[in-house]
Amino acid sequence: MSLSETEAREYAQLLPDGLNCNNARERLLCVAEVLKRASDAGHRLSNADIRRVLTARFGKDAAPAENTLNADIAALRSCGVAGFDFFTSPAGSWCEARSLGLSQVRLLFNAVQSSRFLTAQESAELQESLLDLVSIHQEDMLMGDVHVVQRMEPAGRATLLDACETIAQALRNDRKVEFEYTYNDFGGAQVALAGDDGATLRIETPTALYFADGNYYLESYSATPWRHGQNIMRSRIDRMRSVSVSEEHADLCEGVLEARKSAARRMKREIQMFGGTPRTVFLRVSAEGTNEVFDLFGFGLEFANFSGDPADKNTTADTCVTVAQSPTFFRWLTGLGGRVRIVAPPDALAVRSQPWARLTDGKTHAQLMADYEAMADAYRAFLQAVLV
């Protein structure tokens, strides 16, 4: 169906503000923009439709002759424009993004919408950039297909992306970073936390940037611990403010170099970026708890010691993981309501057989027992601490 004059005017308003159509070169770009913004495989534009849009935007003199428009579209089909492919059929012409399909744009669009750390302006700008990759008709599908949980950011919060770039610059140039670490009061305002020495300004050597569980984190080193007697600390970047590259050179001591080298390996053993003593423990998993276990530890797990009918949700099997002894792990374990349990390691002979020999990180049976007892004792203490 041909475009109405009203539709042509609406499509004309979608074209970029600075677009001109005063000569053949500019006209070719205008035709490309009309197809990019107003067409897709399900909404093809005839030559008459394209001329109507150009006339609505630039006047009658901008509408090319039929043969000229055919030549323009043929040139676009043969060369493309900045990552787009152009197509023609008896039903009309249309355009598709070459780099990302609609489903991929939807995934990115929803991720931007639900981001917890983007400011409202950053989110709006990114969404607008993603919508430029699809037609106006596909925009409507993206905006209405999926309901996204969106969280409001506190007013005045510094842009997290700028903080990440500042930290990355310090890492590249072997400089320290300066910042204040904060907590939010009951009104949502950021309040600076003081260290053990009473100062709020931290000047530390960055060792790694992490992104996990929807948050960015800085891992940093200080020869004089900020708090808790720890030289290496993790800080959520959305809780940092006044982030800048320090004039001080990074402390490239052995501890910093080792932390940078082992960052990826250590991250795999931690939950929600909470560290702790790594323990190699055996978990007994029921069939209805496997999804949660795979979500946390990935699909590289191996199971043995099956008990029950494989089709029964109460069937159990054992697996072995190395995980940080931390409150975060205990919270996860408690939330599963017994679907996953910590169990004592099997006997020494079983530990030397497959798959346990491959999964126990080379530890002896005595070491595995020590890990089990330490983890169990810490878990009991964790549960006791929440009782009033």
pLDDT digits (tens, 9 = 90+) for 229-251: 889 888 888 889 999 999 999 99
User: How many whole angstroms separate alpha carbon 3 and alpha carbon 110?
Assistant: 31
pLDDT tens-digit readout, 190-222: 889 999 999 999 999 999 988 876 778 899 999
Q: At 173, phi and psi to the nearest 5?
A: -100, 10
Q: What is residue 55's predicted lDDT score, i.e. its pLDDT?
A: 92
What percentage of the chain reaches a pLDDT higher than 70? 91
pLDDT tens-digit readout, 9-68: 988 988 888 888 888 888 888 999 899 888 888 889 999 999 999 999 999 888 888 888
Q: What is residue 16's predicted lDDT score, i.e. its pLDDT?
A: 85
User: How many whole angstroms separate alpha carbon 370 and alpha carbon 364?
Assistant: 10
Joined together, the tokens standing for residue 19 give 């677009």
Q: What is residue 362's predicted lDDT score, i.e. its pLDDT?
A: 86
pLDDT tens-digit readout, 68-86: 899 999 888 887 676 788 9
Residue 275: band (very low, low, confident or very high) from pLDDT cuts 50, 70, 90: low
Q: Is the pLDDT of residue 102 over 90?
A: no
Higher per-residue pLDDT: 304 or 273: 304
Asked if 56 and 34 count as a contact pair (C-beta separation under 8 A), the reply is no
Q: What is residue 148's predicted lDDT score, i.e. its pLDDT?
A: 61
User: How many whole angstroms separate alpha carbon 127 and alpha carbon 111?
Assistant: 10
Q: Is the pLDDT of residue 95 over 70?
A: yes
Amino acid at 299: F
Q: Is the pLDDT of residue 310 over 80?
A: no
Residue 3: band (very low, low, confident or very high) from pLDDT cuts 50, 70, 90: confident
**pLDDT averaged over every residue in the chain:** 85
User: How many whole angstroms separate alpha carbon 244 and alpha carbon 232?
Assistant: 19
Residue with tokens 């403010």: 241
pLDDT tens-digit readout, 319-368: 999 888 988 899 899 999 899 999 999 999 988 888 888 888 889 999 99
User: How many whole angstroms separate alpha carbon 306 and alpha carbon 299?
Assistant: 18
Residue 135: band (very low, low, confident or very high) from pLDDT cuts 50, 70, 90: confident
**β-pairing, 190-192 with 175-184?**
antiparallel
User: How many whole angstroms separate alpha carbon 274 and alpha carbon 324?
Assistant: 8
With CA atoms as reference, report the closest residue to 367 among 301, 281, 302, 276: 281
Q: What is residue 156's predicted lDDT score, i.e. its pLDDT?
A: 44
Q: What is the DSSP letter of 153?
A: P
Q: What is residue 264's predicted lDDT score, i.e. its pLDDT?
A: 80
Q: At 8, phi and psi to the nearest 5?
A: -60, -40
Strands (E), 194-251: 201-212, 215-221, 232-236, 240-249
Q: What is residue 155's predicted lDDT score, i.e. its pLDDT?
A: 47
Q: What is residue 111's predicted lDDT score, i.e. its pLDDT?
A: 75
Mean pLDDT of 311-316: 81
With CA atoms as reference, report the closest residue to 84 among 95, 93, 73, 94: 95
Q: What is the DSSP letter of 2?
A: P
Please provide the distance, in angstroms rounded to a whole number, between the alpha carbons at the two ends of the chain.
71
User: Is-cis flag, bond preceding 346, omega within 30?
Assistant: no
Higher per-residue pLDDT: 348 or 267: 348
Residue 178: band (very low, low, confident or very high) from pLDDT cuts 50, 70, 90: very high
Query: pTM of the prediction?
Result: 0.53
